[in-house]
Structure 1
Amino acid sequence: MAGNSQRRGRRVTSKKGATIGSGGKNRAGLSGKGKTLPADERPWHKAYSGTEKLPQRTAWKQDKERRAAAEEGRAPKIGAPGTKDTTWGAGQRGVGKPARGAAAKAGGRAGGRTPTRGGPRVAPGRKSMPAKDAPELLVGRNPVVEALRAQVPATALYVAHGIDIDDRVNELVRTAADRGIAILEVGRPELDRMTGGVLHQGVGLQVPPFAYEIFEDLLAASVEHTAPLLVALDGVTDPRNLGAVIRSAAAFGAQGVFMPERRAAGITATAWRTSAGAAARVPVSQVTNLTRAIKACQQAGFMVVGLDADGETELYDLEAAVGPLVVVVGSEGRGLSRLVGETCDLRVSIPMVSEIESLNASVAAAVSLAEIARRRRES
């Protein structure tokens, strides 16, 4: 025979056609599952009445969850048999063990049961996108101590395992314990993940979103001083610059800081840390329209000066420094915007010895506020 007809393993029969039917193998799958149970008869539904007997597998799963919850010291995710409670118990989500180790040595007990995790969970490989009203995590020993001293509302204090205990750690743990704030000891990798890699010095304080002062209240409170001083930020977008300006404002006696809501940095954990806790002592306000807010200050009797490298008045010749004053700091790149610059009463430049184009926004603010404070002391 020609071709491969004599090869070993050759096909000797015609190709098999498609099998018709399953031969009874899928008979169970074709049978109906019966009627759909009403809601009050489904053990997994919130409307379950509890009168029907639980299916065997459902009862086994619920019993397994209750045993696991008892071992972990938390409320079960399901209710007891025969009840409608099939959700987490109120106030029991994430309940775990109190702090121990370094946190307990540094300042006592946390008091009561405390949450074991803080902040949103982030899937591996994905960036967290916290909601606008999500809690913030303040980090750094000085910012946390200052926030606790200022009675900033807080929900949890995180302390890293093996932290070097100093006076600040003792104080912040003791203060948190006295205020009934949960104290949790976590590993450094976990704290790194929660802070996004920001330098935290082994401590973090979870606080609600920053509460901005109403601008009208900030202005009214400032005019009660003999020579009020306010700082306005025109489009500063770096939270580190914002924190540094707030710190300088607190150091040199300013009564408040205000800035626009849009296209500008807000009080984030980074700004908190850079301010070294000064944001807890200096009122900060966000305004819808910065030009309108500046005009309101002018109507209240303030002289408004804008920091500008090409300003017509040098800082050391600023005679208005001893009176009610608003210092406007421009953004990092473009400086003062056109409308804000036109609204200012004066544009002030900082004289420099070398040929440097301009100073950083926070540095310019610090130099200006220091000179204003010096003039006021000598007047």
Structure 2
Amino acid sequence: MEVLYGLHPVEEAIRSGSRQLDHVSVARERRDDRLERLIQLCRSAGIRVSLEPRDQLTRIARTDAHQGVLAVVKERQFLGVEDLLKPKAEGQHRFFLALDGIEDPHNLGALLRTAEGAGVDGVILPERRSAPVTATVAKTSAGASEHVRIARVTNLVRALEQMKQKHVWVLGLDERGTPDYTDFDFKTDCVLVLGREGAGLHDLVKKTCDHLLRIPMAGQVSSLNVSVAGAVVMYEAMRQRRPPAEKPAKKPEEARKGLGS
């Protein structure tokens, strides 16, 4: 069993239904509308709620950032790459995110939050040299990590090659790459690969990429934080892939009378 803490992570774990919750503990000292709504959500879902001293929650969560609520949940079951590669509806392209050695749990949480918001179809994480999906990650993602489909792989290069065999373009993000990310057509099956904080993509991962995209920088620094850079590109991909909004039908104009009428 694992522990999730914070209002949003616990609430989203209940809403997603992706994991079994053993029980939810709330601090006796906290009483407000947000907590009451969470308690009602637990009762509607048939989840046991217990009242505990705040200090007890701090000991269990190993942090005082639990906001007076934590949940004991079943360990997360990760997917395989083949699970992510299941085809979508005809005419819909798949968009994935692969993370090459993201070790900061706050960066991982921020990227999972963006991935969920940008409609990413799945995230690939290596088993080694990667931050685990912990309660800190869930808290940083504001619970979005509970909705994201995540595959854990032993070898990221092999997983990317497997995706290429299924006609998925592999796109690395690199400050020395070409073209600019805005010049790439994301309306195809593709996976965006982001590298380590500071060091970027591993050499073998970089060689596996079909294209290396860059984010142009107008200032003195050469790159962005990985979670910010990932957000920039993911939302550009979402913008390009979003179906055009239907324009409202114009109302027929009334006949205008001229001077000679």
Query: Do these two structures clear the TM 0.5 threshold for a shared fold by scoring above it?
Result: yes
* 2:200 is equivalent to residue 335 of structure 1: yes
CA gap 1:138/1:350 in 2 versus in 1, 3 angstroms:
same
Q: Cα distance, 1:228 vs. partner?
A: 0.5
**Structure 1 residues 136 and 229: alpha-carbon distance in aligned structure 2, compared to 1, 3 A threshold:** same
1:147 aligns with 2:13: yes
Matched, 1:189 2:63: no
- 1:221 to partner: Cα distance: 4.9
Task: Between 176-185 and 142-151, report the one with greater CA deviation.
Answer: 176-185
Distance 1:268 1:366 in 2: 21
- Which residue does 2:23 correspond to in 1? 156
Distance 1:344 1:304 in 2: 5
Q: Partners of 1:204 and 1:238 in 2: how far apart?
A: 22
**Structure 1 unaligned residues grouped into runs of 5+:** 1-134
Instruction: Count residues in correspondence.
Output: 243
Q: In the TM superposition, what is the alpha-carbon distance from 1:333 to its structure 2 partner? A: 2.6
Residue type of the alignment partner of 2:21: A
Partner Cα distance (1:146, 1:329) in 2: 26
Distance 2:145 2:64 in 1: 18
| Aligned counterpart in structure 1 of residue 128 of structure 2, from 262, 267, 281 | 262
Q: From the two aligned structures, give the one with the greater strand fraction.
A: 2
Whether the 8 Å contact between 1:222 and 1:255 is mirrored in structure 2 is no
> Structure 1 residue aligned with 2:83, among 202, 209, 217?
217
**Greater relative CO, 1 or 2 (CA 8 Å, sep 6+):** 2
- 1:355 corresponding residue in structure 2: 220
Query: Compared with structure 1, are the counterparts of its residues 195 and 221 closer, same or farther at alpha carbon in structure 2 (3 Å cutoff)?
Result: farther
CA contact (8 A) 2:5 2:67 kept: yes
Preserved CA contact (<8 Å) 1:222 1:229: no
1:261–1:287 CA contact under 8 A, matched in 2: yes
Specify whether residues 308 and 163 from structure 1 end up closer, same or farther in structure 2 by C-alpha distance, changes over 3 A only: same
| Alignment of structure 1 residues 40-189 onto 2, 5 Å | 135-151=1-17, 152-166=19-33, 168-189=34-55
Task: Report the secondary structure of 1:204's partner residue.
Answer: strand
Q: Aligned with 2:212: secondary structure?
A: strand
User: After superposition, what is the alpha-carbon deviation per residue over 1:22-72, rounded to whole angstroms, capped at 9, x for unaligned?
Assistant: xxxxxxxxxxxxxxxxxxxxxxxxxxxxxxxxxxxxxxxxxxxxxxxxxxx
Match of 2:109 in 1: 243
Of 164, 168, 174, the residue aligned with 1:308 is 174
Question: With structure 1 as the length reference, what TM-score do the two structures score?
Answer: 0.61
Q: How high is the sequence identity, in percent, across the aligned residues?
A: 40
Q: Indicate how the Cα distance of structure 1 residues 223 and 303 shifts in structure 2: closer, same or farther if over 3 A, else same.
A: farther
Q: Which residue of 276, 284, 303 corresponds with 2:150?
A: 284
SS at match of 1:235: coil
> CA offsets per residue over residues 258-300 of structure 1, 9 Å max, x none?
1111111121111111122222222101011100110111111
Greater C-alpha Rg: 1
The CA RMSD measured in Å over matched residues stands at 1.7
**1:171 shift after superposition:** 2.9
- SS of the equivalent of 2:3 reads strand
Letter in 2 for 1:360: N
CA-CA distance at 1:222 after TM superposition: 5.5
Q: Distance in 1 between matches of 2:120 and 2:43?
A: 32
Q: Give the whole-Å Cα distance in 1 for the aligned partners of 2:183 and 2:229.
A: 16
Q: Which runs of 4+ in 1 moved over 6 A?
A: none
**CA 1:378/1:150 → structure 2, altered by over 3 Å: closer, same or farther?**
closer
Q: Tell me which amino acid in the other structure corresponds to 2:137.
A: A
Using the alignment, how far apart are the partners of 1:369 and 1:244 within structure 2? 12
- How many angstroms does 1:309 deviate by? 1.1
Structure 1 position 175, deviation (Å): 2.3
Question: Which of these residues, 154, 160, 163, is aligned with residue 297 of structure 1?
Answer: 163
Partner of 2:191: 326
Distance in 2, Cα, partners of 1:267 & 1:206: 15
TM-score, normalised to structure 2, is 0.88
SS of 1:347's equivalent?
strand
Equivalent in the alignment of 2:255: none
Change in Cα spacing, 1:164 to 1:352, as seen in structure 2 (3 Å) is farther
What residue number does 2:247 align with? Answer: none
Classify 1:313/1:378 alpha carbon distance in 2 versus 1 (closer, same or farther; 3 Å): farther
What are structure 2's unaligned runs of at least 5 residues?
245-261
